[in-house]
Structure 1
């Protein structure tokens, strides 16, 4: 089983908010009820389910998701 996550844009180190966003889950029978998750919670989920965490990379520009008006 694999859990795909990416780092949120507005979340930085030291914030008291979840830093990662779940993008998808492949394989297994895991249902996540959250969109944003903390790293420690993510590690616990992976440990108990035997899942591998895949951290997706960002392009650093933020240009792919913007609308052209």
Structure 2
């Protein structure tokens, strides 16, 4: 099983907010009911389900979305 996540744009290391957003889950019977998740929570879910966490890279330029 794989859990695909990406870092949020508006989160910094010092913030007390979740830094990751779950993009998708491959395989298994896992449902995640949150939009944003903390790294420690993500690691605990992966550990107990035997899943691999895949961190998706960003292009760094903010292309591909938003209002035009």
**TM > 0.5 fold call:** yes
| CA-to-aligned-CA distance 1:36-65 (integer Å, 9 cap, x gap) | 000000000000000000000000000211
Scaled by the length of structure 1, the TM-score of the pair is 0.94
Aligned Cα RMSD in Å?
0.8
Q: What are the ranges of 5 or more consecutive residues in structure 2 without an aligned counterpart?
A: none
SS in 1 for 2:44: helix
Aligned residues: 68
Q: What are the ranges of 5 or more consecutive residues in structure 1 without an aligned counterpart?
A: none
SS in 1 for 2:6: strand
Query: Could you tell me which residue of structure 1 aligns to residue 34 of structure 2?
Result: 34
Query: Could you tell me which residue of structure 2 aligns to residue 10 of structure 1?
Result: 10
Scaled by the length of structure 2, the TM-score of the pair is 0.96
Runs of 4+ deviating beyond 2 Å: none
